[in-house]
Structure 1
Amino acid sequence: MESQKSSLKDDALQLKILDKYIGDSNLDLVHMGTLQPFIQARRTEGVKNRTINAALEVVRHILNLAASEWCDEYGLTRLATAPKIKLFPLTDADDPYHLSWAEQDKLFKELPEHLLQMAVFKVNTGCREQKVCSLRWEGKAYPRTGHQCFCHSSPSGEKQDRRVVVLNSEAKSIVENPRGRHSEYVFTYRRDRMLTMNNTAWQKGRKRVGLNHVRIHDLKHTFGYRLRAADVSYEDREDLLGHKSRRMTTHYSSANLANLIAAAETVCDSGSRKNHTVIL
């Protein structure tokens, strides 16, 4: 249910942007031709194809529904056929970038407190942005880790798609700071959960320190790079980063967890506090 709510909010955000360009158009007048002003405007703003595609996918879904499921009082669909909405290849995607410690210090000093907490958590766990934004206060204690676990379903909602995310001492301290501020979500702003980390505060902060090229997703790349630099094994890196593999499970043995906790701590400065785990 939560994943559905998040998806609806994401779709609503895309429709809000699209409204300026096609909001007054009838459904039969929405096609790749009439979407060109929107596409050109987003490219002028420096938006990548992946983000443009997210909006086009929403349009495509609505048009397909209008041609297949949405019927009038006579049983006729709103559209006879759905126009083809073509997505763009992701050839303009930026290369992965990892922050140096000095760059991280400069950038993080420019972030407001609520966004700083999320950034520190992300760079110490490698979680994807939406998993950070939707982290909730619920779960159960994980054996021999001594602390709370957070449960979060994948977009499919399948229990087997959950994964263990190991918290090093830095990430552990971050999730303890906001405890009790919100009844459901860990990371919030003005008593509401964050829908994205890539907001104005992030964009202005990176610009002030000359790191315009650094994306939110690069915090995950930074985590992976630091694990590799610390000689953490490929298999352990895969598990810590949450990559799909046959090794992934929510039922690690205590020995495996201890190994992953030690590996996660190699990218952390503080090093002396206990680590814990969450299930996402």
Structure 2
Amino acid sequence: MFAECAAKYLKESENKASVETIAIHIVAVVPFIGHLEVEKIHDGTLESFKASRIADRVTPTTINRALEVVRTILIRAAKVYRDEDGLPWLKQAPPAITMLDETPREPCPLSWSQQEALFKHLPKHLANMALFAINSGLRDSNVCGLLWEWEVKVPEVGRSVFVIPWQFHKTGKRKKRSLVVILNDAAWSILNEQRGLDAIHVFVYRQERRKHHDLAPLMQYHRIGTMNNSAWHTAREKAGLPKLRIHDLRHTYGARLRAAGVLNEDRASLLGHATKSMPEHYAAADIGRLINLSNGSLDRKSTCTVLSVINR
């Protein structure tokens, strides 16, 4: 059955940085095809999955990522997975799976008023994550997967940076370079607010009690798989931003840096873009300079005009 193949593939992927995303796609698709034998998976049997996701206003890009996971599982079933007789679980070549047409959307950086409208509807834990993302430029997976063990103190500037190993961020996988995360004043404040909640992950969540506050919380803190959840969708609808993506927080940071006059090479360093001149580690003086540049994104007066033009 497809569900068995999916479970095996998820087990194999448990040490991958993308395991949370893989799990999300598997959970989405298994109710539609999990009960089917792998020989019966094809475009026709995937139509109900596609239609349901489209009805739920899931983007074609996200649907295609799930279909890619299905395709990978079928390839593993045909080429790797074997029964006790040594025969492949899928005895023929996997069928071609038709992807949906993707229409790339232009970046949509937030204005300050839009940010305020959005953040007031986010629950506290998600608002902290979003505020950190919009002031560090980190992608969703890196915010959710940020570990305390990657924190490196820089006494000369009175704060820390995070050094994310190359295996755990998008650019690093291409260049095999660690990502140095510079924290401006807002990101630093959020970081210190998170201290002590969990020994491993920076951003965590637990269900608090709505009554009987004198009793222990309902559950322990746990890692958040993605910011792109129901709370995010609800908040963006209430804020009048139904198409806003998590990645637009990163676009907002980049746009504000540009509006503050930060040069392209420095913006690339702050956003973690791979460049020939980008070092893997910085001297304390460089970190101090980059912190000051990053703080330029907090200056509302210098960023309002450019953002209003970009959002038209």
Q: Same fold (TM over 0.5)?
A: yes
Q: Where do residues 73-88 of structure 1 align in structure 2 (5 Å cutoff)?
A: 73-79=84-90, 80-88=92-100
Give 1:142 shift.
3.4
Give 1:6 shift.
4.5
Give 1:144 shift.
2.5
Work out which structure has the larger RCO, using CA pairs closer than 8 Å and 6 or more positions apart in sequence.
Answer: 1
Give me the whole-angstrom Cα distance separating, in 2, the residues matched to 1:145 and 1:83: 56
Name which of 266, 283, 287 aligns with 1:257.
287
Give me the whole-angstrom Cα distance separating, in 2, the residues matched to 1:25 and 1:3: 24
Structure 1 counterpart of 2:269, one-letter code: D
**Alignment length (residue pairs):** 269
Give me the whole-angstrom Cα distance separating, in 1, the residues matched to 2:205 and 2:255: 30
**Is the 8 Å Cα contact of residues 108 and 116 (structure 1) preserved in structure 2?**
yes
Unmatched tracts of structure 1, length 5 or more: 271-280
Report the equivalent of 1:266: 296
Q: Equivalent residue of 2:182, what SS?
A: strand
1:58 aligns with 2:74: no
Q: Equivalent residue of 2:106, what SS?
A: coil
1:105 aligns with 2:126: no
Q: More helix by proportion, 1 or 2?
A: 2
1:227 aligns with 2:257: yes
Alpha-carbon distance change, 251 to 23 in structure 1, aligned in 2, over 3 angstroms: same
Name which of 130, 138, 161 aligns with 2:177.
161
Normalized against structure 2, the TM-score is what? Answer: 0.80
Structure 2 counterpart of 1:171, one-letter code: A
**Is the 8 Å Cα contact of residues 138 and 151 (structure 1) preserved in structure 2?**
no
Q: Equivalent residue of 1:50, what SS?
A: helix
Report the equivalent of 1:43: 54
Give me the whole-angstrom Cα distance separating, in 2, the residues matched to 1:171 and 1:30: 46
Give me the whole-angstrom Cα distance separating, in 1, the residues matched to 2:136 and 2:168: 22
Give me the whole-angstrom Cα distance separating, in 2, the residues matched to 1:88 and 1:154: 31
1:116 aligns with 2:105: no
Report the equivalent of 1:195: 225
**Is the 8 Å Cα contact of residues 49 and 90 (structure 1) preserved in structure 2?**
yes
What is the percentage of aligned positions where both structures have the same residue?
Answer: 41
Report the equivalent of 1:236: 266
Give me the whole-angstrom Cα distance separating, in 1, the residues matched to 2:82 and 2:168: 28
Structure 1 counterpart of 2:165, one-letter code: S
Give me the whole-angstrom Cα distance separating, in 2, the residues matched to 1:6 and 1:164: 18
Give 1:268 shift.
1.7
**Is the 8 Å Cα contact of residues 70 and 77 (structure 1) preserved in structure 2?**
yes
Give me the whole-angstrom Cα distance separating, in 2, the residues matched to 1:187 and 1:2: 22
1:177 aligns with 2:216: no
Give me the whole-angstrom Cα distance separating, in 2, the residues matched to 1:108 and 1:23: 38
Unmatched tracts of structure 2, length 5 or more: 1-11, 207-220, 301-312
